[in-house]
Chains A and B, each alone.
Chain A
Amino acid sequence: MTLKEVVNNVASMPASKDAVVDIKNLSLTFQTADGPVYALSDVDLTINEGDFVSFIGPSGCGKTTLLRVIADLERATGGDISINGVSPEQARENRAYGYVFQAPALLPWRSIERNVTLPLEIMEISKEERIKRAHDALKLVELNGFEKKFPWQLSGGMQQRASIARALSFDADLLLMDEPFGALDEIVRDHLNEQLLKLWARTNKTVAFVTHSIPEAVYLSTKIVVMSPRPGRIIDVIETDFPRDRSLDIRETPEFLEIAHRVREGLRAGHSNDE
């Protein structure tokens, strides 16, 4: 190893040894016809391997934008960001993450099964393997039996579950989920939350999860990021220390309520900045 390489290695060393997402001083401004929109500003955030990070904040505060920057669907206009130690573009090319969009985005000409196998097809995985993985992923979101249906034959919530199965099918280590359960009823939501937690506890995946629900954020996360709008910035980062294999019952514990209270305070503070 030459000296230069050593210096380079040290320089590009992530903040923590296993930082999956490392964001420093990031900002993003959209240039629109009505002038600049400051979507993100001064965002500093580290997501470590195995973290479950929830983003919560009022509508329009830049949660989706931040997730899209991580996914290389949007380019930051300032600051630094690295995913697994490389640029977001590199990470995307390496298929480092699975992304669940705010809307299901299923292709209407493909059956549910073929929608779920779409990423596997692009990644040139063999046909039997594709079918097997689609089957497993659909089972996880309890859509087995719907393989041959078309998206428009399913309810909105079922479509969203299919899109989650699609993101799970290729087993990426990083999951980016933009309000995946927003369209679901309370019971199904609780159930899928449990399933997601189980999957996360079992596989040590890293999850970045946008939500509007305080209980959902507190229940799922190891780290809660509270954001405020105009310009979108992080106003609080709350670490929780519930065990990884937590059950729904923790929602009744005092710690849970305390954290939920702190999140709510943070959101209120963000709102009052607004006026």
Chain B
Amino acid sequence: MNQMKLDKFCLVGAIAALLALIFPLAGVDLDTGKQVAFVGDIPGLAIAMALCVIAGAAFTWIGVRSVLSGTVLLAVAVFGCWQAVSTLYDHGVAGYAGTGFWLFIISLWAFVWRGIDVIANYRSLETAKQQTANVIVPVAFGMWLLFVWEVLVAGFGVPQVLLPPPSMIGVRFVTSTDVMAADFYQTFVKAVLSGYVLGCGSAFVMAIAVDRVPFLKRGLLPLGNMVSALPIIGVAPIMVMWFGFDWQSKAAVIVIMTFFPMLVNTVTGLNAAGKLERDLMATYASGYWSTLFRLRLPAAMPFVFNALKINSTLALIGAIVAEFFGTPIVGMGFRISTEVGRMNIDMVWAEIALAALAGTAFYGAVAYIERKATSWHPSFRVRRH
């Protein structure tokens, strides 16, 4: 017995689930003076808790080693999560969750943690299997966070103005797709993409000029640092005055925000090629442009992509904030600022979710191109023979 290693997480999960069966599930309704609900009245929840006790005890004993046992743990936890949510909404526990309920959540937390842990440590030489595991881990973790958010907000009865539960945001998201699509088109497709391409493109060309002309390097780069330190809150209204309410002023803000990260990174990157490689090109009497395209730009690519990634995030922030300072009645920033005023917090959150999705997808796309374009770089390459 004492040389056996007990699985601590499963032990915690089993004990918490056992206690959850004993402690009161919900608080007392002030009007009726009675407990809102009992475990005994909710068969699904009772089964889920019992399952947690059994599975927890079993895995404490046999240990969680294979992906299969991790998956079983996660399956038990998913069933438990479903029952917990149903208890909150279908049995009136929302706002009245008691000790028993929270103990059950702790039990679920232990199982999810252990289950994800096992899958995260999974190593396979088969790429397909490994990739599946690599996807499951963040997805499961994200789902768990959403669940905790939902349960905390509903269980404690947090007012919706402070923080709506994710389910409500999700419903709002799918029921107002037409508004969101219009906002996305206005802010992302029109303002962000054009500003990003313009800002990064002009900075790239400028970087090559700066690199060629020494006095620009000494004169412009320090100035550039100053401009990039300008607060966007100050710049945005001026751009609106200059370029009007529509997306052009937002694109202008984005150009200002993205220009200098790109300029500085590209100038640094153009000097990244080593002395030896430059000497090599000199022995071939390679001209300026030939050396630029064959040696210096390829060597600069990791730096350029670094700036492109930073800017993908900056551009979205810039566009949304700039819309606070005047815009036609469409756009993600516009929607956020007006719906806050109307106390439609779920809509605000839906727009935030949209921004998060768009930002992640944008960043992911740039990172993907980077991987393809600079696969030679030590940080990406895999030894293949």
Q: How many residues of B contact A (CB 8 A)?
A: 24
Q: Is the Cβ of A103 less than 8 Å from the Cβ of B276?
A: yes
| B280 at interface by CB-CB < 8 Å | yes
> C-beta contact mask, B347-385 vs A, less than 8 Å → 1, else 0?
000000000000000000000000000101110010111
Q: Is the Cβ of A95 less than 8 Å from the Cβ of B285?
A: yes
Q: Is the Cβ of B381 less than 8 Å from the Cβ of A92?
A: no
| B238 at interface by CB-CB < 8 Å | no
Q: List B contacts of A107 (CB < 8 A).
A: 277, 294-295, 298
Give the distance in Å from the alpha carbon of A48 to the alpha carbon of B385 in the complex: 45
| A101 at interface by CB-CB < 8 Å | yes
A105-B276, A109-B374 known; A71-B294 Cβ under 8 A: no
Q: List A contacts of B298 (CB < 8 A).
A: 107, 109
Q: Is the Cβ of A93 less than 8 Å from the Cβ of B385?
A: no
Give the distance in Å from the alpha carbon of A107 to the alpha carbon of B279 in the complex: 13
Q: Is the Cβ of A108 less than 8 Å from the Cβ of B376?
A: yes
Give the distance in Å from the alpha carbon of A118 to the alpha carbon of B384 in the complex: 24
Within 8 A of B (CB), among A112-168: 118-119, 121-123, 150, 152-153
Q: Is the Cβ of A122 less than 8 Å from the Cβ of B381?
A: no
The closest CB in chain A to the CB of B385 belongs to A153
Q: List B contacts of A68 (CB < 8 A).
A: 279
Query: Chain A CB within 10 Å — which of B276, B280, B295 has the most?
Result: B280
Q: List B contacts of A121 (CB < 8 A).
A: 294
| A250 at interface by CB-CB < 8 Å | no
Contact of A153 among B295, B374, B378, B384 (CB under 8 A): B384
The closest CB in chain B to the CB of A166 belongs to B280
Q: Is the Cβ of A105 less than 8 Å from the Cβ of B294?
A: no
How many A-B Cβ pairs are below 8 Å? 55
A122-B290, A153-B385 known; A73-B282 Cβ under 8 A: yes
| B124 at interface by CB-CB < 8 Å | no
Contact of B282 among A92, A94, A108, A123 (CB under 8 A): A92
A108-B376, A152-B381 known; A123-B276 Cβ under 8 A: no
Give the distance in Å from the alpha carbon of A98 to the alpha carbon of B285 in the complex: 11
Query: How near does chain A come to B109, taking the closest CB pair, in angstroms?
Result: 44
Q: Is the Cβ of A150 less than 8 Å from the Cβ of B376?
A: yes
Q: Is the Cβ of A71 less than 8 Å from the Cβ of B381?
A: no
| A99 at interface by CB-CB < 8 Å | yes
The closest CB in chain B to the CB of A104 belongs to B276
Give the distance in Å from the alpha carbon of A108 to the alpha carbon of B294 in the complex: 12
| A97 at interface by CB-CB < 8 Å | yes
Q: List A contacts of B282 (CB < 8 A).
A: 72-73, 92
A107-B277, A109-B374 known; A153-B383 Cβ under 8 A: yes
The closest CB in chain B to the CB of A123 belongs to B284
Contact of B279 among A73, A97, A122 (CB under 8 A): A73
Q: List A contacts of B3 (CB < 8 A).
A: none
Contact of B376 among A93, A109, A118 (CB under 8 A): A109
| B283 at interface by CB-CB < 8 Å | yes
Query: How near does chain A come to B300, taking the closest CB pair, in angstroms?
Result: 11
Give the distance in Å from the alpha carbon of A225 to the alpha carbon of B280 in the complex: 25
| B271 at interface by CB-CB < 8 Å | no
The closest CB in chain A to the CB of B280 belongs to A105
Q: List A contacts of B284 (CB < 8 A).
A: 95, 118-119, 122-123
Give the distance in Å from the alpha carbon of A119 to the alpha carbon of B294 in the complex: 10
Query: How near does chain A come to B380, taking the closest CB pair, in angstroms?
Result: 11
| B286 at interface by CB-CB < 8 Å | yes
Q: List A contacts of B374 (CB < 8 A).
A: 109
Q: List A contacts of B283 (CB < 8 A).
A: 71, 73, 92, 97-99
Q: List B contacts of A72 (CB < 8 A).
A: 282
Residue ranges of A at the interface with B (Cβ–Cβ < 8 Å)? 68, 71-73, 92-95, 97-99, 101, 103, 105, 107-109, 118-119, 121-123, 150, 152-153
Q: Can you list 10 residue pairs at the A/B interface with Cβ under 8 Å?
A: A71-B283, A73-B279, A93-B285, A97-B283, A99-B283, A107-B294, A108-B377, A109-B301, A121-B294, A152-B376
Q: A92-B285, A122-B281 are in contact. List 9 more A-B contacts (CB 8 A).
A: A68-B279, A73-B282, A92-B283, A95-B285, A97-B283, A99-B283, A107-B295, A118-B284, A119-B284
The 5 A-B pairs with the shortest beta carbon distances in the complex, nearest first, are A109-B376, A99-B283, A108-B376, A119-B284, A122-B284
Residue ranges of B at the interface with A (Cβ–Cβ < 8 Å)? 274, 276-277, 279-286, 290, 294-295, 298, 301, 374, 376-378, 381, 383-385
